[in-house]
A = this chain, B = another copy of it.
Amino acid sequence: MLTQSEENYLKAIYSLSEDQKESISTNLLAEKMSTKPSSVTDMVKKLSDKELISYQKYQGCELTAIGKKTALQIIRKHRLWEVFLVNKLNFGWDEVHEIAEQLEHIQSAKLTDHLEEYLGYPKVDPHGDPIPDKNGIFEKINKSIALSDVNLKGKGSVVGVEDGSSGFFQFLKRYEIGLGTEIQVMEKFDFDLSVLVLINGKEISFSSVVANKIFIQVK
């Protein structure tokens, strides 16, 4: 049986592995877990002992098959509880994450399966993320996300915008952006949340206002 902390680490490693295929560095994981690299080293050793991740000193870590399966079961619980909170208890989709972060650690496979049945076997959670089944299998869904939420180097094509004003459409026209336009995020600036993107071979800087309104489907 795993502790809540171990489960949270597994989930974080899984999440980071979705964005990059290389092994996960200690610092990156520390950042994700909002903790210190030294704490990560301790935990990574423990998870490695339990054969949930493979780990070599100074080489970062990676989920093993068992580790990945375990992570997916926690994610399954997290997302099913989110569906419950939104669909049955009338929570908003923006206020369920914290609670699901706790509920995902409840230990009872029977509870998870009954909950899934009760909810009518939902395929996605309130944020559009896919829900793995009891074997960890799920449909890969190409979610559309705002440019501001795209990871560094993330690439995709425009599938929508969230502003119908003529001013905004003029802005899009000026930069030759329309449905299907290929965009890649080259840099993200924390100080003003602006992004530097690559469109048709040209580098353009978008303010956070704009980055929040353009939605792309990541490849």
Interface residues of A (CB under 8 A from B): 85, 88-91, 98-99, 102-103, 106-108, 110-111, 114-115, 118
- What's the nearest-Cβ distance from chain B to residue A96, in Å? 9
Contacting residues, chain B, for A99 (C-beta < 8 A) = 106, 108, 111
**With the chains together, A118 CA to B84 CA distance in Å?**
11
A172 to chain B, nearest CB (A): 40
For the complex formed, measure the closest distance between the CB of A109 and the CB atoms of chain B, giving whole angstroms: 11
B102 touches A107 (CB 8 A): yes
Residue in B89, B102, B108 whose CB lies within 8 Å of A118: B89
Q: Does B85 contact A111, Cβ atoms closer than 8 Å?
A: yes
Q: Which residues of B contact A90 (CB under 8 A)?
A: 114
Q: Residues of B contacting A89 with CB < 8 Å?
A: 111, 114-115, 118
Q: Which residue on B lies nearest to A111, using beta carbons? A: B99
How close is A83's CB to chain B, nearest CB, in angstroms?
A: 14
Report the minimum CB–CB distance from A22 to chain B (whole Å): 36
Q: Which residue of B lies closest to A98 (CB)?
A: B108
> What's the Cα separation between A59 and B110 when bound, in Å?
44
In the complex, which residues of chain B have a beta carbon less than 8 angstroms from the beta carbon of A114?
89-91
The 9 closest A-B pairs by CB, nearest first: A89-B114, A102-B106, A99-B108, A89-B118, A99-B111, A88-B118, A103-B106, A89-B115, A90-B114
**A115 partner residues in chain B, CB cutoff 8 A:** 89
- For A88, list chain B residues within 8 Å (CB): 118
Expressed in whole angstroms, the Cα–Cα distance for A61 and B110 within the complex equals 38
